[in-house]
Amino acid sequence: MTANDCDLISEAVFENIDLKKQIFFKLDRVAKQGAILASNTSVFDIDEIAATTKRPKDVIGPHFFSPAYVMKLHEIVRVAETTDDVAATAM
């Protein structure tokens, strides 16, 4: 399977804004149109990361609270341009 086959791609690298932006820049070029691009960042502005793509409407920031098996809370951080259907799919 390649990124071109995926409907949702989740980036989960350590908290380094430059690395995250580089990954999203590359994902924008290889992911199929309509694929949701997700970042697990908890400290950086998700809009800044989304701005490295040509599809900020498809970018979200999902967060599972720790520990996930106890804290049954899943937060979806929307980019200013995230569409309702992308947010609903993430939920």
Which of 53, 62, 39 lies closest to 81 in space, CA to CA?
Answer: 53
Annotated catalytic residue 75: yes
Which residues lie across from 76 on neighbouring strands?
A: 62
* Given the residues 11, 15, 75, 81, the one annotated as active site: 75
Tokens found for residue 49: 């990361």
Contacts of 8 (CB under 8 A, 6+ apart): 35, 36, 38, 89, 90
Active site residues: 75
